């Protein structure tokens, strides 16, 4: 009897043991194995959406905004902060700045995503496949371009002879490239964009890449290279494509609260849905201190004095002064009858609303990357550089007109309104139109100008009254993250 | 180590347990006796003979229940009942054997007597505690591995319902630390240092012989900490970090006993050495900053003006300053930012409160010869000292065992807990450290002020938690249930089979609201977030357990099979637009977010162990476990783990006769255990589907995948000695070396790879150390004094990393070969420049001939990062003293940590040299001073508005000595005499007053030097769990409680 029991138990044990062994292969609930992604069109389409999601990732989109816009003369920070955004704002870059590392890594992660698809998809006659491939070429160019702008010196400094960023065009995880020259990176960006123009055929919404998006980006790339002929042509193509229209003056103040796909002017935007609302981690949080946001970064005195020259300029409406209210809700006035501004730490509060209130949500916004107005002002700048100042002013006036400025507020050779240079007119118009849209810093430095920050803000050390950044300043660009130099010894640090 | 054994502890319920080792002489006899007794009872066989009755008492004359009474050379026998009485039918002329574990067996010839009273004497040699060491139970003298035991009595001093918290300082080499003093927070436990970089470092918990589970501290009979490989080897791939074996209480045959214990008391937050400025101090400090700023700005503007107008008149200067918006006087400039008359709010008093702890417990246990039960019910309610925080828990346990017949035994255990946790959503903790005293949280009528971005408020954060505290909620409900079913089958006299099965499930729901009436709730019209979690685990463990003796050879062994599956899921959902005070999801107007995860893992194991001893003098043991895990790569699903140990009990040798050395044992062990990856799917190459864009699901490369991924292999060598002197001093010393090889490391990949990391088996970490436990009976007699002391020294070194590459852990720590794993790697603070008050850091420069030399710089970005110490303590430990005089007892317990460096991280805001003028600042403690004028030798740089050259940024400046000595508990108790208890018809009555954390000796400048260990699973998180970091910490509570214990 005992032996029988033992036998039964022993058999039960052996059976259960072997039965369980094959159960040791478990797959993740939230994923698909690599083979199943890269071998099907649907999988590759999912992977392409994944790359867009990397660009939307806060490590990418928010940091890109911080590095580019906070370093301009449009903004004034009203206090100190532990967030490393402070170093981008006050030009005290650190070699191990965590936000720079996060951006750098996320960019190459996204580039890897594009390379997997590019390696797996062959050009064909199939429009769906070609669109997919084209979008990946576009995204690869887009990512390299963002990187070279942040880590490589302006192309116009030395015709791209200095060190840019790593060019990564394969999905080999082991290949660790050195930094290529700025001009080599630009060459890759241009060749990828040209390929994507050939391949793309869909009329996707402005949330995704399409042919005109690539053309518009080409126009910006050439502008940053100082290749005004090409920049003009591509900007002109976009304008003449008829796909986009400047939104009317009446709707212009609501431009940034409208979802991009409903906006006729937007060429490409990084779409955020309610699920992507990052609340106090959103870009808008620093600009709008309502219910959720911090509201610490204000329009600078320097920008305000430029935009307020023309009180009728609709672009005044993107800066919202915050007034002290009486207990009945009315605005408090001082003894001279002027409204009393709120201040934070002694800095007057001028909120910026370009990154708030999409669909009514305070911190939700889809940052606009390319819009038609830029094509006009790029065309204007190129026309000027190509010796056609009247054409340039005509394009400037299209933008001013849309901003609600008429008659004497429009430029002509006979009405320069105190300006002595058409280029100054164009650059100030760009500053007005694209304020807080990550363009100003590049416009100043690619034109070899000095950024003058002679206005209150915590970029100034105690007792100081101005900060000047010449285009030759080494901190016009960021340090390569020290952490990645450890992992990839081929990398050379910026001076 | 205190004896687990007490005269009333029968241990009978373990007799047939397969987890019990049946190789002890008296055990076997007892087993036999009971088997016989049960046989008689179950078969209903009755010997037609005369009854013999009697009482068995111990050396003190107290009745002994559960003593085996057997007729010699027969199977006839019984056991004594709860009053020590027995009745047996037998023939008149036989010899009765009275045996009881730990006592000398007595043979009594009854020769016609009907009443036999016996007094048993303890056997000094066998007066040996029984220690549960996981799969087996052994008497202490036979243990050849390194284990520490903590009895229920030692465990329950501090008032807490977390067993881990109670373990702090109680066992050598076991470091328990907590990052927070918040009620309900789980501390981290490190046994003999930290051995893993990316995988878990928490020990495995085993409750009642089954992996996993929890137990309420008051249901715990004993805790055994398994430290070396000989002890943990049988747990294989789960045992890398040691094992904590918890045994819960069991019912005993005899009289039903009812025990009640209750305590109630008050909690207050400890403040340590931390002190903030009051209103006037802060005003003086700020005025200095702003005046200097004004003076500088004014001079600079005048310089600008002079460039245009060489010799400006005062009027021209005034006009220019007005044009530039600079006031004409510093007073006017200061008035823009500073109050004329400073307010003096003490924000700490607003954030913290006097709270209470209420602990109530009742347990009932008992049983007869066949069935034993234990029922425990516990209520624990601790209000946090910080507003809105608190933790409540009700726990039930039922342990039931029944002897079906002489072969089958069934045991069931049910443990279930229902908890409630509330947390603060008002930032009161942070603001208690940073808010400015000038701001008043109240209106004149005493009602709290609504503060938003538009309010007049000096502090940086424009938030008044006093207003918010009644609105925003964070309530969590916790439930856990574990059910055990165990079947024992006695195959023959030397072989058992046991099947232990456990199902565990936990679930929790957390409800977080942002009320629409608060500044933060206006935008989205209020917000409701629900987070639910669910886990389950199924485990079956099936073991053969054998024990046999041949003369002086005692042999035992285990062979078995285990299977476990763990599953976890969670949902995190959020909705906007909800009426104040409503917390039901369907009442939200907009669904805002919906996320969640799922994960599963499995283990399959075969295990074997053999144990041999010769004459209780020479001991040897060997174990082998084959473990498969779903977490490993497809090429390496299985791992083999083994251990060997040997011991020599010298004091049992006939040649060894010493009056001084009453116990002497030498031990040695060697073994290999394992550690599994933290992530369930680290070995699989896959795309994650958790990202979306524009409303379309996307797939992003998540993991490079490593089909060769396998377990980490800690190899432990342990040598130890147990020494007993005069039966009054017990000294246990262990030397160990644990080398963790093939560490599972998320090797960081260069950005160009497109991946953050690649999970590989690379790297090694070595921990070497000494554990010492010393128990002494200093005074015996009327005045008794016992001391338990333990100390653990550990030295940690990383010996190998992937291609020697260091791993940086967030900003300030680095894992590098030759260094402690928890090493600080920071910019190295070089003090203050006496000339100008600038901050200085060390930097390396090259001289003319190209040689490096060290100098200082005032440019933060040019500073060098250096190794600047470690957060690992040199040693940790504890000391308990117990004084008894007549009915009074006094217990004190200290724990200590020495030689750790703590990074006081939030000094970068409240000790910032002016960088955060809108935060309050600390009052510099004695020994620290601020630079004021050239020539000052100072610890703190010149204070400058908005900061002095990044002086407050991370550097070794904020590393502080984390050593401390804390009086964890002091208890004064009074036990009422028997005369009184008899009158009250109860068996015992004790009242006591107990105080927790009354005194802490430390040089640390923050509120509390206790900091948590590293949690490697959060390494890739943007905000990793902080190792050795202190900041705006939830301080530990000082508690004073009154309690009573009543036994019926």
Q: Lowest-confidence range among A397-401, B102-106, B552-556, B625-629?
A: B102-106
pLDDT of residue B5: 32
Residue A155, min C-alpha distance to chain B (Å): 23
Alpha helices in A91-126 (DSSP H): 98-120
Q: Please give the model's pTM, rounded to 2 decimal places.
A: 0.86
Tokens of B879: 């000391």
**Overall average pLDDT of the B415-423 stretch:** 95
ipTM of the complex: 0.92
User: pLDDT tens, A302-329?
Assistant: 999 999 999 999 999 999 999 998 888 8
The verdict on B952 touching A (C-beta cutoff 8 Å) is no
Tokens of B588: 């939200």
pLDDT of residue B124: 54
- Give B447-450 contacts, CB < 8 A, sequence gap 24+: B450/B519
**Overall average pLDDT of the B447-454 stretch:** 90
Question: What's the 3-state SS for B31-70?
Answer: HHHHHHHHHHHHHCCCCCCEEEEEEEECCCCCECCCCEEE
Q: Are B300 and A82 a contacting pair at CB < 8 A?
A: no
Q: Are A275 and B592 a contacting pair at CB < 8 A?
A: yes
Q: CA separation (Å) from A213 to A169, A186, A197, A257?
A: 21, 17, 9, 21
Selecting from B295, B521, B750 the residue whose C-beta is nearest the C-beta of A463 gives B295
Q: Are B492 and A26 a contacting pair at CB < 8 A?
A: no
Dist. CA B1002–CA B898, nearest whole Å = 10
pLDDT of residue B27: 42
The verdict on B434 touching A (C-beta cutoff 8 Å) is no
Where are any strands of DSSP class E within B110-242?
Answer: 118-119, 130-132, 137-139, 147-151, 174-177, 188-191, 204-207, 210-211, 220-226
User: pLDDT tens, B743-789?
Assistant: 888 888 999 999 988 888 988 999 999 999 999 989 888 898 999 99
Backbone torsion region of residue A404, taken as left when φ is above 0, otherwise alpha when ψ lies between -120 and 50, otherwise beta:
left
Residue B601, min C-alpha distance to chain A (Å): 7
A51 to chain B: nearest residue by CA? Answer: B700
Highest mean pLDDT: which range of B31-45, B171-185, B471-485: B471-485
A112 to chain B: nearest residue by CA? Answer: B754
pLDDT of residue A291: 84
Assess whether pLDDT exceeds 70 at residue B26. Answer: no
**Overall average pLDDT of the B963-975 stretch:** 92
pLDDT of residue B35: 46
pLDDT of residue B47: 42
Q: Which residues on A lie below 8 Å from B916 (Cβ)?
A: 80
B564 to chain A: nearest residue by CA? Answer: A20
Residue B880, min C-alpha distance to chain A (Å): 44
Q: Are A23 and B602 a contacting pair at CB < 8 A?
A: yes
Q: Are B379 and B359 in contact (CB under 8 A)?
A: yes
Residue B520, min C-alpha distance to chain A (Å): 5
Q: Which residue has the higher pLDDT, B31 or B884?
A: B884
Q: Are B681 and A456 a contacting pair at CB < 8 A?
A: no
pLDDT of residue B18: 37
Q: Which residues on A lie below 8 Å from B471 (Cβ)?
A: none
pLDDT band at B956 (very low <50, low <70, confident <90, very high): very high
User: pLDDT tens, B813-837?
Assistant: 888 999 998 899 999 999 999 999 9
Interface with B, mutate which of A22, A26, A151, A456 (most B CBs under 10 A): A26
Count of CB atoms situated within 10 Å of the CB of A291: 19
Q: Which residues on A lie below 8 Å from B705 (Cβ)?
A: 34
Helix/strand/coil percentages in chain B, nearest 5 = 15, 45, 40
Assess whether pLDDT exceeds 70 at residue B17. Answer: no
pLDDT of residue B721: 92
The verdict on B461 touching A (C-beta cutoff 8 Å) is no
Closest C-alpha among B111, B93, B98 to residue B70: B98
Interface with A, mutate which of B752, B807, B862, B863 (most A CBs under 10 A): B752
A291 to chain B: nearest residue by CA? Answer: B520
Dist. CA B41–CA B29, nearest whole Å = 18
User: pLDDT tens, B294-345?
Assistant: 999 999 999 999 999 999 999 999 999 999 989 999 999 999 889 999 999 9
Count of CB atoms situated within 10 Å of the CB of B973: 18
Hey, which residues 663-682 in chain B have their CB within 8 Å of chain A?
A: 680-681
Count of CB atoms situated within 10 Å of the CB of B428: 24
B560 to chain A: nearest residue by CA? Answer: A13
User: pLDDT tens, B388-408?
Assistant: 999 999 999 999 999 998 889
Mark the ranges of chain A whose per-residue pLDDT is less than 70: 1-22
Hey, which residues 337-366 in chain B have their CB within 8 Å of chain A?
A: 337
pLDDT of residue B939: 96
pLDDT of residue A290: 82
Residue A83, min C-alpha distance to chain B (Å): 11
User: pLDDT tens, B44-89?
Assistant: 334 446 778 888 887 767 778 778 888 877 777 787 877 788 888 7
**Overall average pLDDT of the B174-180 stretch:** 79
B521 to chain A: nearest residue by CA? Answer: A291
pLDDT band at B20 (very low <50, low <70, confident <90, very high): very low
Q: Are A173 and B692 a contacting pair at CB < 8 A?
A: no
pLDDT of residue A451: 97
B541 to chain A: nearest residue by CA? Answer: A13
Q: Give me the domains of chain A, ranges plus CATH numbers.
A: 2-202+475-487 (1.25.40.390), 274-364 (no CATH)
**What does pLDDT average to over chain B?**
86
Assess whether pLDDT exceeds 50 at residue B21. Answer: no
- Per DSSP, B1013 falls in state P
pLDDT of residue B563: 92
Selecting from A6, A207, A291 the residue whose C-beta is nearest the C-beta of B522 gives A291
pLDDT band at B15 (very low <50, low <70, confident <90, very high): very low
Q: Are B700 and A51 a contacting pair at CB < 8 A?
A: yes
User: pLDDT tens, B498-544?
Assistant: 999 999 999 999 999 999 999 889 888 999 999 999 999 999 999 99
Q: Are A171 and B754 a contacting pair at CB < 8 A?
A: yes
Interface with A, mutate which of B629, B699, B757 (most A CBs under 10 A): B699
Closest C-alpha among A165, A460, A23, A205 to residue B296: A460
Counting one residue from chain A and one from chain B, the pairs whose CB atoms sit within 8 A come to: 281
Residue B919, min C-alpha distance to chain A (Å): 10
A38 to chain B: nearest residue by CA? Answer: B687
Count of CB atoms situated within 10 Å of the CB of B887: 12
Assess whether pLDDT exceeds 90 at residue B129. Answer: no
Q: Are B337 and B291 in contact (CB under 8 A)?
A: no
Hey, which residues 831-870 in chain B have their CB within 8 Å of chain A?
A: 860-861
pLDDT of residue B232: 85
**Overall average pLDDT of the B271-277 stretch:** 92
The verdict on B454 touching A (C-beta cutoff 8 Å) is yes
Assess whether pLDDT exceeds 50 at residue B39. Answer: no
pLDDT band at B8 (very low <50, low <70, confident <90, very high): very low
pLDDT of residue B103: 74
* Percent of chain B with pLDDT strictly greater than 70: 93
Q: Lowest-confidence range among A132-141, B166-175, B371-380, B523-532?
A: B166-175
Q: Which residues on B lie below 8 Å from A31 (Cβ)?
A: 681, 684, 686-689, 699, 702-703
Q: Are B597 and A29 a contacting pair at CB < 8 A?
A: yes
User: Phi/psi at A208 (nearest 5 deg)?
Assistant: -125, 165
Selecting from B297, B598, B748 the residue whose C-beta is nearest the C-beta of A487 gives B748
pLDDT of residue B201: 79
Query: Coil, helix or strand for B727?
Result: coil
Dist. CA A2–CA A121, nearest whole Å = 67
């Amino acid at each position: 009897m005992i032996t029988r029991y033992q036998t039964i138990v022993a058999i039960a044990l052996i059976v259960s043991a072997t039965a369980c062994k094959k159960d040791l292969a478990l797959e993740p609930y939230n994923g698909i194995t690599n083979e199943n992604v890269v071998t099907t069109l649907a999988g590759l389409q999912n992977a392409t959406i994944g790359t867009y999601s990397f660009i939307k990732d806060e490590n990418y989109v928010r940091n890109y905004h911080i590095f580019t816009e906070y370093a301009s003369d449009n903004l004034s920070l009203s206090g100190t902060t532990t967030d490393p955004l402070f170093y981008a704002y006050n030009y005290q870059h650190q070699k191990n700045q965590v936000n720079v590392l996060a951006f750098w890594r996320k960019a190459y992660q996204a580039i890897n995503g594009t390379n997997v698809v590019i390696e797996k998809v062959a050009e064909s006659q199939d429009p769906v496949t070609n669109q997919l491939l084209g979008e990946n070429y576009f995204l690869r160019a887009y990512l390299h371009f963002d990187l070279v702008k942040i880590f490589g010196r302006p192309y116009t400094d030395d015709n791209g002879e200095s060190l840019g960023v790593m060019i990564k065009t394969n999905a080999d995880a082991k290949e660790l490239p050195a930094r290529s020259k700025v001009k080599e990176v630009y060459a890759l960006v241009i060749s990828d964009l040209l390929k994507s123009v050939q391949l793309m055929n869909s009329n996707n919404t402005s949330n995704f890449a399409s042919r005109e998006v690539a053309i518009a980006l080409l126009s910006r790339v050439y502008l940053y290279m100082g290749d005004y002929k090409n920049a003009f042509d591509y900007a002109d193509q976009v304008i003449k494509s008829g796909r986009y229209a400047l939104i009317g003056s009446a709707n212009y103040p609501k431009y940034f609260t409208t979802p991009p796909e409903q906006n006729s002017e937007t060429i490409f935007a990084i779409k955020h849905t309610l699920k992507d609302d990052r609340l106090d981690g959103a870009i808008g949080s620093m600009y709008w201190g309502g219910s959720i946001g911090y509201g610490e970064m204000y329009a600078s005195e320097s920008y305000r004095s430029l935009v307020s020259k023309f009180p009728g300029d609709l672009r005044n409406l993107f800066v919202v002064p915050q007034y002290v209210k009486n207990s009945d809700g009315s605005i408090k006035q001082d003894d001279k009858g002027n409204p009393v501004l709120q201040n934070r730490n002694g800095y007057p509060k001028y909120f910026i609303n370009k990154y708030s209130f999409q669909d009514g949500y305070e911190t939700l916004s889809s940052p606009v990357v390319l819009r038609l107005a830029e094509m006009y002002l790029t065309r204007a700048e190129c026309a000027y550089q190509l010796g056609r100042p009247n054409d340039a002013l005509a394009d400037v006036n299209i933008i001013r007109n849309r901003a609600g400025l008429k008659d004497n507020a429009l430029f002509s050779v006979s009405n320069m309104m105190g300006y002595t240079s058409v280029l100054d007119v164009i650059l100030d118009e760009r500053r007005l139109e694209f304020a807080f849209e990550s363009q100003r810093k590049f416009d100043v430095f690619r034109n070899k100008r000095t950024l003058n920050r002679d206005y209150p803000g915590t970029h100034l050390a105690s007792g100081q009254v101005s900060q000047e950044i010449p285009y030759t300043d080494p901190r016009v660009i960021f340090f390569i993250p020290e952490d990645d130099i450890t992992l990839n010894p081929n990398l050379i640090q910026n001076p | 180590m205190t004896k687990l054994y007490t005269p009333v502890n029968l241990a009978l319920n373990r007799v047939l347990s397969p987890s019990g080792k049946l190789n002890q002489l008296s055990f076997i006899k007892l087993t036999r006796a009971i088997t016989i007794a049960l046989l008689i009872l179950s078969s209903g066989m009755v010997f037609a003979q005369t009854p013999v009755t009697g009482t068995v008492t111990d050396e003190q004359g107290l009745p002994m229940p559960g003593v085996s009474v057997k007729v010699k050379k027969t199977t006839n026998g019984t056991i004594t009942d709860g009053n020590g009485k027995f009745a047996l039918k037998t023939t008149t002329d036989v010899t009765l054997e009275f045996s009881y574990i730990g006592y000398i067996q007595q043979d009594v010839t009854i020769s016609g007597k009907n009443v036999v009273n016996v007094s048993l004497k303890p056997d000094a040699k066998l007066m040996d505690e029984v220690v549960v060491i996981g799969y087996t139970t052994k008497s202490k003298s036979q243990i050849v591995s390194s284990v520490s035991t903590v009895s229920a009595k030692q465990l329950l001093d501090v008032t807490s319902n977390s067993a881990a918290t109670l373990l702090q300082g109680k066992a050598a080499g076991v470091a328990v630390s907590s990052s927070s003093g918040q009620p309900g927070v789980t501390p981290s436990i490190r046994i003999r240092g930290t051995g893993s970089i990316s995988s878990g470092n928490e020990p495995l918990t085993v409750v009642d012989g089954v992996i996993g589970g929890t137990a309420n501290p008051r249901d715990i009979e004993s805790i055994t900490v398994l430290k070396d490989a000989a002890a943990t080897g049988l747990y294989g791939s789960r045992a890398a970090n040691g094992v904590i074996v918890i045994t819960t209480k069991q019912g005993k045959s005899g009289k039903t006993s009812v025990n009640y214990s209750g305590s109630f008391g008050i909690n207050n937050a400890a403040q340590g050495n931390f002190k903030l400025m009051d209103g006037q101090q802060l005003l003086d400090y700020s005025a200095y900053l702003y005046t200097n700023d004004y003076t500088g700005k004014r001079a600079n503007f005048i310089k600008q003006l002079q460039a245009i107008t060489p010799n400006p008149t005062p009027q021209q200067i005034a006009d220019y300053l007005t044009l530039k918006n600079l006031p004409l006087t510093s007073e006017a400039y200061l008035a823009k930012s500073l109050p004329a008359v400073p307010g003096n709010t003490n924000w700490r008093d607003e954030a913290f409160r006097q709270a209470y702890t209420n602990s109530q417990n009742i347990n009932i246990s008992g049983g007869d010869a066949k069935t034993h039960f234990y029922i425990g019910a516990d209520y624990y309610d601790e209000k946090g000292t910080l507003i809105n925080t608190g933790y409540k828990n009700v726990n039930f346990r039922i342990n039931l065992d029944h002897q079906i017949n002489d072969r089958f035994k069934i045991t069931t255990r049910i443990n279930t807990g229902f908890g409630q946790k509330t947390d603060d959503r008002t930032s009161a903790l942070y603001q208690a450290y940073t808010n400015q005293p000038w701001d008043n949280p109240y209106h004149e009528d005493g009602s709290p002020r609504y503060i938003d971005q538009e309010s007049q408020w000096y502090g940086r954060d424009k938030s008044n938690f006093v207003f918010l505290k009644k609105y925003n909620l964070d309530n969590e409900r916790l439930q856990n249930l574990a059910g055990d079913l165990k079947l024992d089958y006695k195959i023959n006299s030397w072989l058992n089979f046991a099947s232990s099965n456990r199902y565990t499930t936990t679930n929790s729901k957390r409800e977080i609201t942002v009320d629409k009436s608060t500044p933060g709730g206006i935008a989205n019209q209020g917000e409701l977030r629900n987070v639910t979690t669910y886990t389950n685990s199924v485990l079956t463990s099936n073991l053969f357990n054998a024990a046999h003796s041949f003369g002086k050879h005692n042999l035992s062994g285990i062979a078995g099979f285990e299977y476990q599956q763990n599953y976890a899921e969670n949902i995190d959902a959020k909705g906007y637009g909800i009426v104040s005070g409503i917390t039901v999801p369907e009442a939200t107007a907009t669904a805002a977010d919906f996320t969640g995860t799922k994960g599963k893992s499995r283990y399959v194991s075969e295990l074997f162990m053999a144990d041999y001893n010769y004459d209780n003098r020479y001991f040897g043991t060997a174990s082998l476990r084959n473990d498969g895990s779903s977490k490993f790569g497809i090429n390496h699903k299985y791992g083999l783990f083994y251990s060997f140990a040997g011991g020599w009990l010298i004091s049992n040798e006939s040649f060894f006769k010493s009056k001084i050395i009453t116990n002497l044992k030498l031990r040695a062990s060697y073994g290999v255990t394992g550690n599994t990856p933290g992530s369930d799917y680290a070995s699989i190459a896959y795309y994650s589907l958790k990202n979306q864009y524009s409303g379309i699901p996307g797939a992003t490369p998540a993991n490079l995948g490593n089909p060769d991924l396998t377990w980490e292999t800690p190899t432990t060598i342990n040598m130890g000695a147990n020494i007993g002197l005069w039966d009054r001093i017990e000294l246990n010393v262990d030397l160990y070396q644990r080398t963790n090889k093939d560490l599972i490391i998320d090797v960081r990949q260069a950005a160009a790879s497109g991946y953050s990391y690649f999970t590989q088996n690379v790297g090694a970490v070595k921990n070497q150390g000494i554990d010492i436990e010393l128990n002494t009976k200093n005074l015996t007699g009327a005045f008794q004094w016992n001391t338990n002391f333990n100390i653990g020294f550990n030295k940690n070194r990383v010996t190998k990393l992937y291609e020697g590459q260091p791993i940086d852990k967030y900003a300030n720590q680095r894992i590098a070969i030759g260094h402690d794993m928890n090493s600080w790697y920071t910019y190295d603070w070089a003090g203050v420049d006496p000339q100008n008050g600038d901050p200085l850091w060390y930097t390396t420069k090259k001289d003319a001939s190209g040689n490096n030399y060290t100098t200082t710089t005032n440019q933060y970005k040019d500073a060098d990062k250096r190794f600047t110490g470690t957060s690992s303590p040199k040693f940790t430990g504890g000391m308990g003293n117990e004084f008894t005089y007549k009915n009074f007892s006094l217990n004190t317990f200290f724990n200590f940590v020495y030689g750790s460096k703590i990074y006081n991280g939030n000094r970068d805001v409240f000790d910032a040299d002016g960088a955060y003028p809108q935060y309050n600042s600390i009052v510099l403690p004695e020994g620290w001073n601020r630079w004021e004028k050239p020539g000052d030798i100072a610890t703190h740089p010149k204070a400058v508005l908005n900061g002095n050259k990044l002086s407050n940024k991370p550097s070794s400046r904020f590393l502080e000595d984390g050593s401390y000595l804390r009086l964890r508990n002091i208890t004064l108790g009074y036990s009422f005499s028997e005369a009184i208890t008899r009158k009250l018809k109860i068996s015992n009555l004790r009242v006591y007053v107990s105080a927790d954390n009354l005194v802490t000796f430390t040089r640390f400048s923050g509120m509390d030097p206790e900091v948590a260990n590293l949690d490697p699973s959060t390494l890739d998180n943007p905000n990793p769990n902080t190792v050795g970091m202190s900041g705006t910490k939830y301080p530990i509570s000082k508690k004073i409680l009154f309690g009573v214990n009543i036994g019926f």
